[in-house]
A and B are shown apart, each in its own frame.
Chain A
Amino acid sequence: MSAKPTGNPVSAAGPAPDAAASPATAAPLLEVVDLCTGFHTPRGLVRAVDHVSIAVRPEETLGIVGESGSGKSVFARSVMGLIAPGQRVERTGRIMFAGRDLVRLPRRELRKMWGSEIAMVLQDPLTSLNPVTRIGRQISETVRRHRPELSRGEAEAASVELLRSVGIPEPAKRMHAYPHQLSGGMRQRVGIAIALAGNPRLLFADEPTTALDVTVQHQILDLLGRQQAERHMAMVLVTHDLGVVATRTDRIAVMYAGRIVETAPTRTLFANVMMPYTRALLDALPRLEEPSHTRLNAIPGHPPNLAVPMPGCRFADRCPAARRKCREQEPPLVQADDPEHSYRCWYPVGSPEYESSAAAGTETTERSGSDQGAMRER
C-alpha cells in the first residue's frame, strides 16, 4: 500500500517554493460552513452538495477532486452564486467571503463581486465566449465594467496588455479574432484573461485543462500559478485528475457523493492517505513508471444515487474494507495525526480491518487475472 517507487529523484530540490506562501494561521478569505445545495427533480430532492465545510486562505490553492457527480462543480457554482436558490434549487449554509455572507447577500450586491472579488474559469471557453463577437470586444467589455472610468481606447489598451500577460502572441492582432479562430489553449488563455480582468481575490478554475492536450495543459497550469502568485490571489482548482492537483495545490479536498470525504495539505494527503476512496482513486491511475500491460485497480460499482437517502458511508458499496457498521452508520469527519488532515471513515487505510480486507481483495483479483469475473462491475 505504500507509495510506488518513481523513476525520478524525489524532491531533491526540497519543497515547492510556493508551498509555504500562506501560513496556516492566516484568517480565511473564504469560509464555507455546512453548505447544502439540492435540486428538486422528478425523482426527489438530489443533494448534490451535502453539508460541506471548507476554508480557503488568502493566496492559497485548494484542489477539489472527485468523479463526475461528486458535487465538485456544483460546490464551486453554489459558492459563486451561479446556482442560486429558486423553485428548483435549495441552498443552505453560510458562505463567508471577506466578512460577508454570500448566501444572504442580495443578488445585486453579489453581481458586483463577480469578477472583482471572485471569478471563474470554465472547462471550455468555446461555450462561455460569445461566438459572434470578437475577442477584443469581449475583453474590453469586461475591463470597462470593472473600471468604468476608462475610455474605449484605454480599455482596449488594457485588454491588449491582459492578453499579453496571459501569454497570447501578437495580442493586438488577436483582439480581432473570433473565438472559433483560436486553438483550445488560446481560448482558455482568453477565458483566463477575462476572469482576471477585475483582479479578483479568489479564482475558481473548474476543470480548466480537461479539454486540452498535455502540453497545453502544462502551459495553462503554469500560467494560472504565475498569475496567482503575481496577483496574490487564492485559487480553487476543481478537477477529477489527482495528477493535476498533486504538484499545483497547497491543500486538497476529496469529494464523493456530495460530501467531503478527506481533506489535507497536499503532501500529507499523498504521503498518508486515510480514506479508502482516495486510495482507490490513486490506485486506479495508470502510471508512467509502471511497465506496459500492468493490470489497473479499477473501482468496482458506481457512485450512489443521491436522490435516495442512505444510512452509512456513501462509499461502502464500492469499498474493499466495508463492514456492517459502514453500511449502518455514516462516519463523521475525524482528525488524523496532522490536525489539518481529516477523513470520513470507520476503518481507514492502515487500520488492521482495512489492511486485511485490502490484502484479501488484491489476492483474488491477481489470481483471477483475465477471468471475466474480476472485471464485472458488481
Chain B
Amino acid sequence: MTHADQDADRPLLRVADLVVEYHTRAGTVHAVSGVSFELDRGETLGVVGESGCGKSTMARSILQMPRPLSGTVEFDGTDLTRLPGSSLRRLRPELQMVFQDPVSSLNPRRKIRQIVAEPLTIWRRGTRAERAAKAEEMLRAVGLDPADYGDRHPTELSGGQCQRVAIARALVAGARLLVCDEPVSSLDVSLRATVLNLIEDLRERFDLAVLFIAHDLAVVKNVSDRVMVMYLGKVVEIAGAGELYSRPAHPYTLALLNSVPRPDPGARRPEGVVAGDPPSPVDPPSGCRFRTRCAMANDVCAREEPPLTAIRPGHAVACHFPLQAADLSRQPEA
C-alpha cells in the first residue's frame, strides 16, 4: 500500500482503534479505549479534556512510549505498532514531543547550544561544524539569538525561553510530527502568547503536523484547525475548531466551554457546567461514559454506548441526544 503516488493524499498520521490499558492493584485502568483520528501535514489537531481523560496517555502511545495494547498508528504509511524497536528508533527524529515543564525537560548541566545540537550528535548528522551551524539556525528560528543564549545554561533562562529551546531541540533533526503536551500550561500569560505564536510560525515553516494537548480551551482554539474532545478514554466529539466552539453537539463539550472563565466582567456566569469529578477509569460507567455527569442522560445512555457519528461533514459526536442549535441558543438565556 505504499505506492508513491498515494503519498500525497494519505494523511501523515492515521490512528485507528487505539487502546491503552494499565494493570494496577485496583484493577485494569482503561486509559484509552478505541481512539481513531487522522492528522495531516501542516495541520494542528487540538485535544482537550479533564485530567485523567487519557489525552496524554494517548499521545504517548502514538509515539509508542509505551506501545499501545491494540490498534494501529500509521505514520506516513508505516504502522508504528508493528515496527521493530530498531526501525522505530530510526524514525524517532521525525516524531517529536514537547513537554509541559520546559525546565525539567532540559539537562541543567548542558549549554543551550549543546542541548539543541544533541539530536544531531546522536544521529551523527554532518560534521561538528555543520551541527553547530544547524543548532544556531534552529535557535534563531525559535527567536533566541545564539550569540546571547547559546552558551547559557537552562537555569539562566525563563520558562518561556526554556520552552523555545525544547521546541528547537524537537525540530532540529527534521521532525514531521510534533506532539505538544500542555506546552504552555506552566507559563505566564505573556510568555504563553509568544510560545503559541512560535508554534504557529514553525508549523507553517516546516509543514509540521501538530498534536496539541491542553486543558485550556481558548489556547487550544487559538492554534488548532480541528479539535477533539476526550472523556474517560474516548473521543466524544471532533470537529473543525470554529464549528466545535460555536456549535458544540456533545453536552460535555458545552459544559467545558461554559466553564472557561471569560476576561469580561459583563459575561454571564453560565449554569450549564458539570458537577463533581470524572468517574474512575478502572470502572467506567456502562453505555455512555459521560452519563453519570450528564443532565440529559436516560436509560438508553446507560444501556448503549453511543458511537462516534458524523452529524455534519467533518463534525462527529458520540451522543444519543446531540445538542441542536436550538439548545445552544436557549442555554445562554437560562
Contacts and interface: CB of A to CB of B under 8 A. Distances in A.
B218 A219 contact: no
Nearest to B196: A296
Contacts of B262: 6, 243, 246-247, 288
B259 A372 contact: no
B224 interface: yes
B190 A284 contact: yes
Interface centre among B201, B219, B225, B262, by most chain A C-beta atoms within 10 angstroms, is: B262
B125 interface: no
B190 A216 contact: no
Contact of B194 (A266, A282, A288, A377): A377
B260 A288 contact: yes
Contact of A214 (B192, B193, B215): B215
B90 to A, nearest CB: 31
Contacts of B200: 293, 295, 370
Interface stretch (B29-37, B107-115, B265-273, B294-302): B265-273
Q: Is the interface of B mostly helix, strand, loop or mixed?
A: helix
A241 B216 CA distance: 12
A89 interface: no
B261 interface: yes
Interface in A142-176: 169
Contacts of A12: 268
B45 to A, nearest CB: 12
B259 A370 contact: no
A184 interface: yes
B88 interface: no
B224 to A, nearest CB: 6
B319 interface: no
A132 interface: no
Interface centre among B144, B255, B266, by most chain A C-beta atoms within 10 angstroms, is: B266
B158 interface: yes
Contacts of A23: none
A288 B217 contact: yes
Interface in B261-307: 261-269, 273-277
B25 interface: no
Given A184-B51, A213-B51, A281 B145 contact: no
A246 B261 contact: yes
B263 A282 contact: yes
A270 B215 contact: no
A8 B224 CA distance: 22
Contacts of A13: 268
Contacts of B260: 214, 243, 288
Nearest to A213: B50
A99 interface: no
B309 interface: no
A40 interface: no
A292 B241 contact: yes
B259 A214 contact: yes
Nearest to B293: A215
A229 interface: no
Contact of A377 (B143, B255, B257): B143
B189 A242 contact: yes
A329 interface: no
A90 B58 CA distance: 49
A376 B147 CA distance: 14
B256 interface: yes
Interface in A1-22: 3, 6-13, 16
A288 B190 contact: no
Contacts of B217: 214, 288
Contacts of A217: 259, 261
A255 interface: no
A302 interface: yes
Contact of A372 (B51, B193, B201, B225): B201
A241 B201 contact: no
A219 B275 contact: yes
Interface in B176-208: 188-194, 196-198, 200-201, 204-205
Nearest to A369: B201
Interface string A171-214: 00000000000011110000000000000000000000000011
A114 B266 CA distance: 35
A247 B190 contact: no
Given A280-B190, A376-B143, 11 more contacts: A3-B264, A9-B268, A186-B277, A214-B215, A214-B256, A215-B255, A217-B261, A282-B263, A292-B223, A296-B193, A372-B143
B140 A372 contact: yes
B245 interface: yes
Interface string A231-244: 00000000011111
A117 B11 CA distance: 61
10 contacts: A169-B276, A213-B215, A214-B216, A218-B261, A266-B265, A285-B193, A292-B223, A293-B222, A296-B193, A377-B194
A338 interface: no
A147 B215 CA distance: 41
Contacts of B51: 184, 213
B216 A377 contact: no
A183 B190 contact: no
B264 A284 contact: no
A215 B193 contact: no
A309 interface: no
